[in-house]
Amino acid sequence: MICTMRKTLAILLFAVATTAGAQSFQLHGFVSAREIYVSSQPSWLQGGAGRFDVGADTVDDHKLVSMYNAQVGFDWTPMSWFLVHADGVARRQQSGHVGGKRIGLVQAYADVFNDHFRLRAGEFWLPTSRENTDPLWTSKYTITYSALNSWMAQEVRPIGADLQWSPSFYVTVGATAFRGNDTMGTLLAGRGWTFGNYLAAYNENLPTPEPELTRPFGEDLDGKNGYAERVRISLPERAMLQVTHIDNRATISPVKVKDEEPWATRFNIVGLEIGSTAPITVAGEWMRGSTEVGFPGGSFTMDFDTAYLLGSYKYAHERFSGRIERFATNNASHPATDLAREHGHAITVAWMHETNPRSRAGLEYCRVSGDRPGLAPAFDPRTGGSTITAEYRYSF
């Protein structure tokens, strides 16, 4: 399906390019530098069990880590009804990073649209997040994303087609058919919820505590479509409520398929936002679902849920934001000794200063409480910790 989709997209682009000149081409992106004081065990990105994108040497240690990141994207509109978008990321990670890519593709899609319909084909974010609403799927509120959107950034990125219909200003419905996301749930089941802003790239391998690598977005494993459906009710520029259902419909197998483990993952998201363009904004999301993997002689199913509530106040060049959240996982069969169990909560407060439309400085504190007793003996189950992050970002 992916090869066919690429060929179709290439033919369509060629046809459009030969019949019309470029009506509009916009290049946009940003570069950022972060200094992070972290108190936590080694990060999951280092093959550890820490919940942040960075970590110290032990659970009782702390470390100052420098991080550098760039995101670049473009929008090409050769005709008033046709748009092509692509964006990617380049980053310098903490030493000891296991797997991953320093440079990678995050999105690539084409849109055909009018006032009421939009058909999108390619690799793209589902429009669910109420905090990552800025260009290139970034947040104007905090540096560290919620547990829900940190996981979406790592493991949920459809490769397929999305049809959206907006019959009025108040109602929008959408449906997505996708492939290439059959391992969705591997990271969440292996090491639990995490907090950060790591955007997994196409065909990127990420570490699990086993230790093994998993590829969240890449070649499809079972030849079956996954599906997503959503309904949004809006009061333009004032409030919105959206309900989304996602099911990758992966076929579980007792053995690996193409060196990967399929996980059948399905979940619902309810998102709410009030004061979208007002000085005071309140937003929240709740997610609940399950993920299942096969093994010789049976299967394992893990339930998961998380929710956050975010409040933000914008005054002149300053923005102050706070977020509280909870998260949990557990074995769906509820055994007496539940190795998949974790329950925790987190709090994040952030201050952003925008000196001009292109320049932003930020300071953030994030604290996560929550253990994961079922980790392998090599890992400390005390997976919580805290970060203090100073960031400077320049946009272009």
Q: Which two tokens stand for residue 388?
A: 């203090």
Per-residue pLDDT of the chain (396 residues; tens, 9 = 90+): 445 444 444 444 444 444 444 479 999 999 999 999 999 999 999 999 999 999 999 999 999 999 999 999 999 999 999 999 999 999 998 998 888 899 999 999 999 999 999 999 999 999 999 999 999 999 999 999 999 999 999 999 999 999 999 999 999 999 999 999 999 999 999 999 999 999 999 999 999 887 789 999 999 999 999 999 999 999 988 999 999 999 999 999 999 999 999 999 999 999 999 998 899 999 999 999 999 999 999 999 999 999 999 999 999 999 999 999 999 999 999 998 898 999 999 999 999 999 899 999 999 999 999 998 888 778 889 999 999 999 999 999
Name the burial class of residue 219, with classes exposed (0-12), middle (13-18) and buried (19+) by CB atoms within 10 angstroms of its CB.
Answer: middle
> What local confidence, expressed as pLDDT, does residue 14 receive?
47
> What local confidence, expressed as pLDDT, does residue 9 receive?
44
> What local confidence, expressed as pLDDT, does residue 276 receive?
86
Contact 371, 381 (CB under 8 A): yes
> What local confidence, expressed as pLDDT, does residue 3 receive?
52
> What local confidence, expressed as pLDDT, does residue 138 receive?
97
> Which residues, listed in sequence order, are joined to residue 105 by a DSSP beta bridge?
88
> What local confidence, expressed as pLDDT, does residue 19 receive?
42
What count of Cα atoms within 13 Å lies in the side-chain half-sphere of residue 383?
A: 31
| Structural domains in the chain, sorted by start | 2-395 (2.40.160.10)
> What local confidence, expressed as pLDDT, does residue 284 receive?
98
pTM, rounded to two decimals: 0.92
Residues 354, 357, 363, CA angle at the centre, nearest 5°?
Answer: 25
Contact 252, 262 (CB under 8 A): yes
